[in-house]
Amino acid sequence: MKSRSVLMIADVEGWAYDFIAKSISSKFRKYEATTVYFRDLIRGSDSADASEYDVVMGFFWYDMLLRGYLVENLDINKVCVTVQSHNSWLKRGLTVEEVGNLLSGYPAIGFSSEKLMSKFPNMDNGFYAPTGFEPKKFFPRPLPPFEGKLKVCWAGDPETSHHGDVKGFYQHILPAIESLDFVELITTTKANPIKHSKMGDFYERGHLYLCMSANEGTPMPLLEAMACGRPVISTNAGIATEVVDSECGWLIPRTTDDLIGALQESYKNINKLQRMGANAFKKVEDRVADWSAMYYEKMFDYVWENNEVNRRERFKRDSKVRVR
């Protein structure tokens, strides 16, 4: 029986961090997890009372900073947050030092990648909080037959109105694809969504996966595609520098010309893609949801144990006052 409880706050039900929350919470050994969503809290269609939980975890540190008041009876001593990407502060014009100062009020901070964590080397309460994939959904699959076209997959929101062209879809991917007649682009977006349970079948349709993001958290499609045995072409966004090398893909600068060059090279070496895909799986095979949940629980334990110390200290202090 799980002895502790955690309230997890994601952004929107059915979006990426909802799937992440449900995935890792099902693997927790100590913590019974409940997930709520900021969209619902803002709309008033749901509510949450922090006093009912041992730990409160917000996936997005800035949202917790701005909207934490929406959680009833929120005690900062039981709160931890995660930093999922550089974009969370770059788009607001904040420096690393300013972000560090804003984060310093939280008992614990999780970072989705080693790259992000390295930005805050002096943060004693920083934790590695990586994301893992579900091995029952994402596992090695054979590449489709080559019939003259190099089939490349991309998943995400290509729209640029909110954060700028962070994903690089219009700026880099489309121009590169349109200049190469041997490439077929296969996409899933908000306009043509695929259920998460069917994403393995989506990756199976392609010979490789593209990521041209300026910055990311993990990103999940890259991790899932590699788990399905797909080589990748990626920028150094998120965990890409941790998992992508020349044995399983191409790590490239974020330019259209470099993407074109990598696509041309992959086309010329189509016979090597199956082996590269096998290597891609080997690079990520340990990054499963159970592994991710273990890191999150370490962070929760730190918050819970330190909050327990705080409770004892307050009890001692209050007891002395009562005795007097």
Q: Which of 35, 83, 29 is nearest to 56 (CA)?
A: 35
Co-location of 312 and 254 in the same domain = no
The helix/strand/coil state of 79 is strand
Report which DSSP code applies to 270: G
Domain count of the chain? 2
Query: What pLDDT does 315 receive?
Result: 56
Residue 138 lies in a domain: no
Take residue 301 and report the two structure tokens written for it: 């334990």
Residue 141 lies in a domain: no
Residue 139 lies in a domain: no
Q: CATH number, domain at 228?
A: 3.40.50.2000
Co-location of 160 and 259 in the same domain = yes
Residue 105 lies in a domain: yes
Co-location of 53 and 70 in the same domain = yes
Q: What is the pTM of this model?
A: 0.90
Residue 106 lies in a domain: yes
Query: What pLDDT does 173 receive?
Result: 98
Co-location of 36 and 115 in the same domain = yes
Cβ-Cβ contacts under 8 Å for 267 (sequence gap 6 or more): 150, 180, 182, 183
What's the length of the chain? Answer: 324
Cβ-Cβ contacts under 8 Å for 292 (sequence gap 6 or more): 23, 24, 27, 129, 130, 131, 132
Co-location of 269 and 155 in the same domain = yes
Residue 145 lies in a domain: no
Co-location of 159 and 264 in the same domain = yes
Q: CATH number, domain at 84?
A: 3.40.50.2300
Report which DSSP code applies to 72: B
Co-location of 242 and 224 in the same domain = yes
Co-location of 238 and 309 in the same domain = no
Co-location of 32 and 123 in the same domain = yes
Co-location of 155 and 53 in the same domain = no
Co-location of 160 and 253 in the same domain = yes
Residue 264 lies in a domain: yes
**Could you say which residues of the chain have pLDDT below 50?**
161, 321-324
Q: Which domain holds residue 103?
A: 4-131+288-323
Report the DSSP beta bridge partners of residue 49.
72
Q: Which of 41, 43, 54, 32 is nearest to 9 (CA)?
A: 41
Query: What pLDDT does 324 receive?
Result: 45
Residue 178 lies in a domain: yes
CA distances from 258 to 18, 173, 186 (A): 34, 11, 20
Co-location of 57 and 125 in the same domain = yes
Asked whether the beta carbons of 48 and 79 are under 8 A apart, the reply is no
